[in-house]
Amino acid sequence: MDDEIKQRVFQQVMDIFVTPEIERRRKEGKIKDGTIISKMQIIFSLDKGKNVVRLNEEIKAIATGRANKSINKGQIVYEDDIDNIEKIELTDNDINCGHITLLLFKNNWIISFDFRYNKERIKEHIEASKKFYESALDNLNKNRLRPFYENAFASSELSAKSVLLALPDKKILEGKNHKDRLEKFKNWAELGNVKMEFGTTLSNLSNLRDSARYLSSNDFKKEDPNKIKVILKEMIDFAEKNIE
């Protein structure tokens, strides 16, 4: 981030979040005039439905930095012991939230942000997707195409939801409608955020699942399951990379 962009981001954070919060606390007598603010954090939570502004000792984060001397585990670390801060992450208490965190370090502001939501939930969905993927492979190896397509659809839908969960959309978190999820993922693919093939595969598998499970047609027998299994793995890999 160059200095011009950094200054713009800093000013926007101050104007939109921090300054109004400081003024509110002043009026309520919760902060004294002249208080020096050296740490700021805005937590974006879908669960709570509101943003939380933290100042100074209130912030909760894990900072990764480069030390300029040997440091033992559990030892108190001071600013002079660190050459630079490389990464700032949220603690487990806020694992499913997005954030902007600013730290005054060696007279310079370190700005870190991650607007991806639901990281822990995404990991759970990816693990579930892998299980259905493994079941699909087992069924394919035994030439059981009906359960293959049932498990293939489950895997693809979970992978798709893993991608969508990173967005600030509570409907994705709470929604249980297959059709809505397919439509959202299709739109996300059309915007170029994922491969179009992922979107078309999910939609196709929804139809093939009906064909195989509900005996609505023999369409599932006309598809190439080996091609589908390759795309399923790509979808899982993409979902994992998306939260790195």
pLDDT, tens digit (0-9, with 9 covering 90-100), for 133-178: 999 999 999 999 999 999 999 999 999 999 999 999 989 988 788 8
Q: What is the pLDDT of residue 44?
A: 97
Q: What is the pLDDT of residue 49?
A: 87
Claim to verify: residue 124 and residue 108 sit in the same structural domain: no
**Dist. CA 10–CA 23, nearest whole Å:** 18
pTM, entire model: 0.88
Claim to verify: residue 99 and residue 194 sit in the same structural domain: no
User: At 224, which CATH number?
Assistant: 1.20.120.330
Claim to verify: residue 97 and residue 133 sit in the same structural domain: no
**Dist. CA 108–CA 198, nearest whole Å:** 43
Claim to verify: residue 67 and residue 156 sit in the same structural domain: no
Q: Name the domain boundary from 66, 94, 114.
A: 114
Claim to verify: residue 109 and residue 128 sit in the same structural domain: no
The stretch 56-74 carries a mean pLDDT of 92
Claim to verify: residue 130 and residue 194 sit in the same structural domain: yes
Claim to verify: residue 98 and residue 191 sit in the same structural domain: no
Q: How many domains does the chain have?
A: 2
Claim to verify: residue 179 and residue 218 sit in the same structural domain: yes
Claim to verify: residue 109 and residue 167 sit in the same structural domain: no
Q: Name the domain boundary from 93, 114, 135.
A: 114
Q: What is the pLDDT of residue 2?
A: 80
- Its domain, for residue 142, covers 119-241
Count Cβ atoms within 10 A of the Cβ of residue 109 and give its class: 0-12 exposed, 13-18 middle, 19 or more buried.
Answer: middle
Among the residue ranges 86-95, 144-153, 167-176, 210-219, the one predicted with the least confidence is 167-176
Claim to verify: residue 177 and residue 234 sit in the same structural domain: yes
**Dist. CA 164–CA 153, nearest whole Å:** 16
Q: Minimal CA–CA distance to 223: which of 203, 208, 213, 233?
A: 208
**Dist. CA 58–CA 32, nearest whole Å:** 16
Q: How confident is the model at residue 56 (pLDDT cuts 50, 70, 90)?
A: very high
Among the residue ranges 68-72, 159-163, 221-225, the one predicted with the least confidence is 68-72
How much of the chain, in percent, has pLDDT values that exceed 70? Answer: 100
Q: Name the domain boundary from 114, 137, 162.
A: 114
Claim to verify: residue 186 and residue 95 sit in the same structural domain: no
Count Cβ atoms within 10 A of the Cβ of residue 2 and give its class: 0-12 exposed, 13-18 middle, 19 or more buried.
Answer: exposed
- Which residue's structure tokens are 């059309």? 190
Q: Which residues contact 73 (CB under 8 A, 6 or more apart)?
A: none
Confirm if 160 and 198 have CB atoms less than 8 A apart: yes
Claim to verify: residue 127 and residue 228 sit in the same structural domain: yes
Examine the pLDDT at 1 and tell me if it is beyond 80: no
The stretch 100-125 carries a mean pLDDT of 96
